[in-house]
Amino acid sequence: MTEAFTLTDLLQGGWRHCDFEFFRDGVDICRLVTGEPEVALLRYAPGASVPRHLHAGLETILVLHGSQSDEFGHYGPGSFVANPQGSIHSVSSEEGCIVLIQWTKPVQILDNAE
C-alpha cells in the first residue's frame, strides 16, 4: 500500500476499500506497512481460526469489525489486545472480523492441524 491511511478512516469502515489477498485458510490480508514492524488488516471469514502459535515478538491487535476470541477472552469492535513476546494462543472468529494487526516478528505455528 502506498497511500496514507488514518485510524479514523479504518474505524469508519475504510477497510472495505482495501485489497485483500489470501493469507491462510479463512483469513485474508491487506498489507499496509511491510518490514519490521509489519502492519496489516486481517479479514477472518465466519468460523475461521489460526492454530496455536508462539509470538516471537510483540503483536498488537485492534478489532475494527466483528469479533475474535482466544484462550484469554472475547474481543469485539474497539478491543485492543497486546500479545507480548513469548506468549502463546490460538485465535478464532465465529462471526468473522476485521482486525488491524501489527507484529514485530513472525509467529511460529505450534499446531499444524487446522
Q: In what order do the strands lie in the sheet with 73-75?
A: 73-75, 68-70, 88-93, 48-55, 107-109
Q: Vertex 66, ends 61 and 68: CA angle to 5°? A: 50
Q: What is the pLDDT of residue 14?
A: 77
pTM for this model (two decimals): 0.88
Under the banding of pLDDT at 50, 70 and 90, the label for residue 66 is very high
Q: Is the pLDDT of residue 101 over 80?
A: yes
Under the banding of pLDDT at 50, 70 and 90, the label for residue 69 is very high
Per DSSP, the three-state class of 8 is helix
- pLDDT tens digits, one per residue of 22-48: 999 999 999 988 888 899 999 999 999
Let me know if 83 is exposed, middle or buried by CB neighbors in 10 A (0-12, 13-18, 19+): buried
Domain ranges of the chain: 27-109
The matching CATH number, chosen from 1.10.645.10, 3.30.450.40, 2.60.120.10, 3.40.309.10, for 27-109 is 2.60.120.10
Q: What is the pLDDT of residue 114?
A: 45
